[in-house]
Amino acid sequence: MRFMRFIPVLLALALTGAAHAGGVDRLKAFIAGAKTAEADFTQTVADKTGRITQQASGKMAFARPGKFRWDYTAPYEQVIVGDGVKLWLYDVDLEQVTVKALGDVIAGTPAALLAGDNSIEKYFSLKNAGVAGGLEWLEATPTTRDTTFERIRMGFKGDILAQMELFDFFGQRTTLKLSHFVRNPSIPPSRFTFTPPKGADVIGE
């Protein structure tokens, strides 16, 4: 099913930190200070040879802890909502909704790191990763083996997390670039709720 290609990345919620600090300090400052966020995103997936296999774009938002929304607008429409308890995945073209327990999905993922609680070092080993491409990088390695990620890199520019790179165990790299980022906007709670459209097939509930 098409939405399965996006599940790891939709959980990669993003992004800001403290100026004049290493990547780890920026991340910790973000978790302490950014309760909500909105941004546009572009997503690219490359295989182990570097060949681009997927591209997508849309808008994201989150409210800590555990609430997020990703609206994919291209190449086709998908809506992904974490309401704090459940994860909803709606494929507009297929008129199909998949629902999962949120805790089972985000453990050991970037969602646990960025949209979860403050226990980031319970799930990740963090280290500064230097400067490259004009960005200051942080590398996070999951401490649990029950995850699809080998490691995650986050690139900061100033006080903004501008880019994330997610590496899986199959050699694929997913690059997520953020733009028009807004920190701590007022977001109505209704944005993080989801009701399956009438007539849609619901799987997993």
Please report the DSSP string for 56-95 in residue order.
EEEEEEEETTTEEEEEEEESS-EEEEEESSEEEEEETTTT
CATH number of the domain at 2-203, out of 3.20.20.70, 2.30.110.10, 2.50.20.10, 2.40.50.100? 2.50.20.10
* Predicted confidence pLDDT, tens digits, the chain (205 residues): 454 444 444 444 333 333 345 778 877 777 777 788 899 999 999 999 999 999 999 998 888 888 888 899 989 899 989 898 998 999 999 999 999 888 766 655 656 555 655 566 777 788 999 888 888 898 988 887 767 788 889 888 777 778 889 999 899 999 999 999 888 999 999 999 999 999 999 998 6
Nearest to 114 by CA among 161, 178, 175, 174: 161
- How many beta carbons lie within 10 A of that of residue 40, not counting itself? 14
User: What integer pLDDT is reported at residue 57 of this predicted model?
Assistant: 95
User: What integer pLDDT is reported at residue 109 of this predicted model?
Assistant: 62
| Helix segments in 41-129, DSSP class H | 102-106, 110-114, 120-123
- CA–CA separation, 126 vs 25, rounded Å? 10
User: What integer pLDDT is reported at residue 16 of this predicted model?
Assistant: 32
Backbone angles phi, psi at 187, to 5 degrees: -120, 125
Q: Are 1 and 96 spatial neighbours (Cβ–Cβ below 8 Å)?
A: yes
pTM: 0.79
User: What integer pLDDT is reported at residue 112 of this predicted model?
Assistant: 55
